[in-house]
Structure formats: structure tokens, C-alpha cells
Chain A
Amino acid sequence: MLRYAVERLILMVPAFVAIAALIFLVIQLPPGDYLSNQILELKSQGDAAGAAKAEYLRKEYSLDKPVIEQFGVWLGVWPGPRGFSGLLQGDFGYSFEFKKPVADVVEYALGPTVLVNVLAVVAIYLIALPLGILAATKQYSLRDYTIAGFAYVAMATPGFLLALIVLVYANSWFGVSIGGLVDPQYAEAEWSFAKVQSLVAHLAVAVLIIAFSGVGSMIRRLRANLLDELRKPYVTAARARGISETRLLLRYPVRMAIIPFIADIGNLLPSLVSGSVIVSVVLSLPTVGPILVRALQAQDQFLAGFILLFAAALTLVGTVVSDLLLGLIDPRVRLGQGHER
């Protein structure tokens, strides 16, 4: 297993570099850059000092160098004006839009982003798995139709719309504000039990809203997978041997039916990060989504590049985790596909 894990990690390194290169190139594609545009603007306004400062930053961050060199300096594998000083060395660059280092801009946003989205993934699995199983085990029953109805509503409801509805009704019915990660009175306060309570309540609402549509599609897919498994001869054979229904269900068909979802972990995290951007704006969540939108609009290359790379890293880590879990849960060749090396 260790060998397998290391092989997956080795493959992850070139994949990460390739994704980083792609992100860097895509951000560079529009003509000019933030500073070039600003220098031109300041010069036209006659602000020589501002233009000189912008020119200094351009040289400091190697923006006057060829793209390949800029990329190497940004990653930290090529020496720039300040030696090796890039992502690897913990220097994420400078945000020209926010006028401070990228690390300072994202410092308080990365933690909530990871927390909210990882909890959303956990919530999707915790809610969808039992509901999918309940629906499949009583096909075409009232229970099945009720769960199917819930799943369709969940799939068809955009997250931001649900966020708006909850925001409005929580305020008008209960007089509470669910925006942000804590109540406004705790925003600047020291940590206390009341603040933790407020955090948990706000977090639960945000996580459920973000997870809502994911729950719907997962219920439907799990139900379909499980129905396929339940029709296989080994289930009939196991029933004939007298294995209890719950044990039979959990031991074989459910295990086989959830395999595609384990393979999906890698894709789920980044799609939640990008998909939750509008929900984050509506709920005033301090995540990286709204910052990314602003960075892309302003062509703030280091900030946008770092956040996109962060999402890519989540994808890669998720993919490796799902591969390792699959290796543990189902280390078998698919019959009928042949075995190639």
C-alpha cells in the first residue's frame, strides 16, 4: 500500500506543475498586466511618484521578464530579484488590487473556505447515503417517491436562491441574521462559548445551503447504483443463505454502490469551492470565492493565481485520497476489462 501511495504522490508532482503552468498562462493571456495598465494611467495623470513605485513593483516581481521566467520565480524554483522567493518559500506574491501581500489577503479566508467546503462534502455524504439507501430498498413506495421529490427539489434549487430565502425568512420570522460566520456582535469579540455557539449555528446553515444541491444528485445516483446491485445474482444467493437483510445490504451492495462516490471526492471539493462563490457573497461568508472574483476582474495575477492553484491543490489531494480509499476498499480488477500494465 505504501508503494501505491508513493506512486500516486509521484504522479501528483508533475500534474501540479502542469496545472500551475496552465493557470499562470491563462491569467497572462489578456494583453498587459495590472501594473502596466496602472503605470500608463498614472503617467497620463502626471503622477510620476506613483508610476515609479508601480515600475519598481514590476521589476520586484519579475513582470518585466519572459513568461517562463516569471512562472519559475512565482513557483520559487527560479531565482528572482530577491533570490528564491516564491510559493515554495511561502511568498505568495503581492496583491496589486488589495495593495498588500497575497498571504495577508487570504490569511483569514483560507481556513473558513476549507472548513465550510470540507463540512459541506461530509454533509452531502451523511445526508445522501441513508436517503439513497432508504429510497432504493423500497422502490416505487411512498418513501421512494418522497425522497425522489426531495432530491429533485434539491437539484433544481440554486444555492444562492436558497441562501436568499433562508436569509430573508430567518430575519423576518426569527429576527436573526444568518449572514457571516458569526453574529455581528461577536465579529471583533474574543473567543467565548457564546461566540462558538454562534459560529456553529452560522456554519451549519451555510454548510447545509452549499451541500443542498449536491445531496439531491447524490441521492439519485446512489439509488440507481444500489438498485443495479440489488438485482445481481449474488444478492439472491446471499438471501438464500439466510443472511439478514441489513447485514447483506451494508456488506456488499452498498459497498459496491458507493465506489463511484469515493472516486468523486477529488472533483467534489473544487466544484464546491467554485460553486459556493455566489452563496458566499449572499451570506457574506469570509471565504476565498468573493476575493477570487475581484482578483480576476482586476487582473490581479498573483492573488488569482494563488487561489486557483489552491483549488487545484484541493483537487489533486482529493484525487489521491479517493485513489487510496479505492485501493483500500475495492482492490480488484474489473472483470471483463482485461488487465493491462
Chain B
Amino acid sequence: MGDMVRGIVAVLVALFLLMITPVGSFVFAGMALLLVLFALYLGGTVSRWTSIVEVDDQGLRVTGGVLGRRTIVWADLQRFELRHFPLSRDRKTGYMDLKLKTATASVSIDDKLDRFHELLARAFEAARKADVGLSDVTHANLAAAGIIAKPKA
């Protein structure tokens, strides 16, 4: 809900500022760029809201949203990446983003999705079976998410 409110407010504010800025000025160009970025953000948020993610033993399917139907077959998994994006300087708040890729499709899912941890555990199991290499960043984030054991200090 927070993303949607942020997106709508950002688009409205940018639109208002664009309307009171002289056309062709440097500020106008900057505001136009911001408006495009905010609109893309809002579009992405709407897309996530209208998407349905289904997971089973064969793979993961995403239907609805702006990008339409995409399928990740576990056996064909080529890339598994878990990134963390901090929203505060101490990195205590933020969100995780899981990127899965096969030769034909790629899907990005963030941890605001209900039962994200179940999905993450299932995808990690599939990545292990498919022998997908994990970066040290993904490894650290999996440990922080409780999917694998934390290394001893």
C-alpha cells in the first residue's frame, strides 16, 4: 500500500511542478524526467499488485501484471540472485529482491509478496539441484534471510 501511495503522490507532485515550470527550461527537463521515472515506478507497483505468483514442483508462474505470463521451470534455472536494498543508512530497514532467470524468461520478486520466504526456500532448493552458482552477496543474504546457516563469526 505504501508503494502505491508514494507512487501516486510522487506523480501528482511532479505533474504540478511541471505545470508551473516554464517550458523548455532546465528545471522543466528535470521535472519531466522525474515524472517519467515516477510514472514507471507507479506502473511497476500496479503491475506487482495485479500479478499472481504460483509455485509448484515444476516451477514458478507469474500471470497478470504489465509483462503478462512468465514461467520459470526449476530444472532450467540459470541464475539465482538475492539482493538487499537498504532504505536506511544503518541498513536495518529495506527489502529483498529475488531475481530468477532461465534461457527464455526472467522474474523479479520482492519480499513484500505474501509467503515470500516459502518461495525463496523453494527457489534456492531448485538452484541447488540445477547447480546454479551463487555470488557471495546472494550467499550472505540467504544467510540473513534464514534460508542457510549463518557463518560463525
Contact = CB atoms under 8 A, between A and B. Distances in A.
Contacts of A77: 16-17, 20
B34 interface: yes
Contacts of A323: 86
Interface of A: 2-7, 9-10, 13, 76-77, 84, 88-90, 263, 323, 326-327, 330-341
Find the residue from B93, B94, B145 having the highest chain A CB count within 10 A: B94
Contacts of A3: 41, 44
Given A88-B20, A335-B150, A330 B137 contact: yes
B76 interface: no
Contact of A6 (B20, B26, B40, B143): B40
B122 interface: no
Contacts of A84: 20
A332 B144 contact: yes
B6 A7 contact: yes
Interface string B24-63: 0111000000100110110010000000000000000000
**Quick one: which of B40, B111, B137, B144 has the most chain A CB within 10 A?**
B144
B137 A332 contact: yes
Secondary structure at the B interface, as helix, strand, loop or mixed, is mixed
B135 to A, nearest CB: 10
B6 A10 contact: yes
Given A331-B137, A332-B141, A337 B20 contact: no
A90 B27 contact: yes
A89 B141 contact: no
A9 to B, nearest CB: 7
Given A330-B137, A331-B85, 13 more contacts: A2-B44, A7-B87, A77-B16, A89-B22, A90-B25, A323-B86, A327-B85, A331-B84, A331-B141, A332-B137, A333-B94, A334-B144, A337-B91
A333 B82 CA distance: 10
Contacts of A13: 10, 13
B141 A333 contact: yes
Interface in B121-150: 137, 140-141, 143-145, 150
Contact of A332 (B21, B41, B84): B84
A77 B16 CA distance: 9
A13 B95 CA distance: 21
